[in-house]
Amino acid sequence: MDKIYMNGLEFYGFHGVFEEENRLGQRFYTDVVMSLPLQKAGEDDDLRATVNYGEAYDRIREIMDGEPVQLLETLAERIAKALLDNYPAVREVQVKVTKPNPPIKGPMNGVAVEIVRCR
């Protein structure tokens, strides 16, 4: 299966379990891989045969910048559902949401949740 990668999307949101996270907000990163057949798009040079990256970004941004949630898992599920619902050609979507500065004592480069959902 062919793939479209959207890497390192950066957002500022108010997601988290703790009140301070909801009040102050923090940076989040999102990576998405969409699996779908791309041969027709490549042969015909036809945007209608693929996913419009700008539209997909806007859908992801609406979720990441939108209603605060507690869990990275919730953000990932909402993104996967939105992409599968809006792009019938997408057969599988992989979504990774990273919180680079979680409120955890100790050195780290962040925490992330990655999910894979299929049609």
Q: What CATH number has the domain bearing residue 70?
A: 3.30.1130.10
Q: Give me the active site residues, please.
A: 99
Calculate mean pLDDT across residues 67-71: 96
Decide: residue 99, CB within 10 A, 0-12 exposed, 13-18 middle, 19+ buried.
buried
The strand order across the sheet containing 3-13 reads: 3-13, 26-35, 92-99, 111-118
Domain ranges, residue 72:
3-118
pLDDT number for residue 4: 98
pLDDT number for residue 62: 98
pLDDT number for residue 27: 96
Identify the band that residue 113 occupies on the pLDDT scale cut at 50, 70 and 90: very high
Number of independent structural domains in the chain? 1
**Distance in angstroms (rounded) separating the CA atoms of residues 26 and 45:** 39
Q: What angle do CA 58, 64, 66 make, to 5 degrees?
A: 90
